Copies of this chain bind each other. A is one copy, B any other.
Amino acid sequence: MKDQRLANVLEKMQTMNLSQMVVTSPAAIYYLTGKWISTGERMIALYINADGNHKFIINKLFPLQEDLGIEVIWFTDNDNAIEILSKVVKKDKVLGVDKFWPAQYLIGLMEFNAVKGFVNSSSIIDELRMIKDEEEKELMRKSSQINDRVMQIFLRELKEGCTEKYYARLLQEIYENEGAQGFSFDPIIGYGANAADPHHENDDTKLKKGDSIVIDIGGVYNHYCSDMTRTVFFGEEPSKEDREVYEIVKTANLNAIAKVKDGVKFSEIDAAARNYIDDKGYGKYFTHRTGHSVGLEIHDKGDVSSINHEEVKEGMIFSIEPGIYLPGKIGVRIEDLVLVTKDGAEILNSVSKEVTIIK
């Protein structure tokens, strides 16, 4: 068990006046135990009780290689896992559960009349996960370093006539070769006007001279996600308008990053990008939030958006990814991950953001 993290969870439970909860999502279980266990449709529950009497309920099909310092209750496919859990929880208390826990388990506990009621307690671990500790910062840096290498290798592979789908497949190989364990999300490769369509999926469009290319990619390294976007031009100088749009997005990206430091509101960072794009007359073509938190999951809790007035804190990591999308013409997005520091931001990506023409 990660003792400091568990202590933080218990402290938050006390604040919420919550005496028991089950942690069930693989990312949250990993955060507390250091073990990533995907049990698919089979129940798993890390039961946390304020009195310290924690238990880990797992199907025997997923053996643990080591002692986690917590009592483990094993069950098999022939057991009723919910009945076992119903005997562990305290009947006279409310139970905190994960926001994505399947309804069948909740209904099962109701049928056993196992607890006094339920609350959604995901925010406890979601909020702790927003602030990365030193171990996590280092893993996030390494994950983004891999992403930088993948992007550089990828840019050298761009050739006339190859399809978006081909490149999406090729990326899988590049990530594996560079030491990632796979994608953190399905890569987006969008040529020309395709990149302006929010519903576009990688297709059989062939790369041709004069195309812009939006490349939005990320990998997983030791469970930590990377995420970066670059937009490059293929074979020819961009048109005057395309270059102008590119420079606006780049400046919006830099403005937002310049705004980042401990204590600033997420919404102020969003505004730093959005107001600049607005001022340049492209406001209605920047159709999404400026960024999202990243960590064990590609979308951690905490958006860089106009409606999130929470303050960012030292140790948070999120994306800064403004974009301009001109329907039928071009899409441009430029994205980095940033780590909030006391006085500013550490940028986790280092691939150039200058106008790049692939010859």
CA distance A169 to B182 in the complex (A): 12
- A107: contacting residue among B41, B120, B169, CB under 8 A: B120
Within 8 A of B (CB), among A86-116: 97-108, 110
A267 contacts partner chain B, Cβ-Cβ < 8 Å: no
A20 at the interface (CB under 8 A from B): no
- CB A273 to nearest CB in B, in angstroms, measures 19
Residue numbers in B under 8 Å from A117 (CB-CB): 110
Residues B107 and A97 in contact, CB atoms below 8 Å apart: yes
Provide the residues of chain B in CB contact with A101, threshold 8 Å.
102-103
Interface residues of A, CB < 8 Å — how many?
Answer: 26
A300 to chain B, nearest CB (A): 12
A311 within 8 A of B: no
Going nearest first, the 4 A-B pairs with the smallest beta carbon separation are A99-B104, A101-B103, A100-B102, A97-B103
Contact with B along A37-49 (1 / 0, CB 8 A): 0000100000000
Residue on B nearest A63 in the bound complex, by CB:
B199
Residues in chain B near residue A120, CB distance under 8 A = 103-104, 107-108
Quick one: given A100-B104, A107-B120, are A165 and B169 in contact (CB under 8 Å)?
Answer: no
Residues of B close to A105: CB separation below 8 A? 103
Which residues from B are CB-within-8-Å of A100? 102-104
Give the residue name and chain of the B residue nearest to A22 (CB): B103
Complex Cα gap A197–B289 (Å): 45
A140 to chain B, nearest CB (A): 22
Chain B residues with CB under 8 Å of A169's CB are 169, 172-173
A84 within 8 A of B: no
- In the complex, which of the residues A99, A119, A122 has the most CB atoms of chain B within 10 Å of its own CB atom? A99
Tell me whether A110 and B104 are in contact (CB under 8 A). no
Question: Contact string, A58-102, partner B, CB cutoff 8 A, digits 1/0?
Answer: 000000000000000000000000000000000000000111111
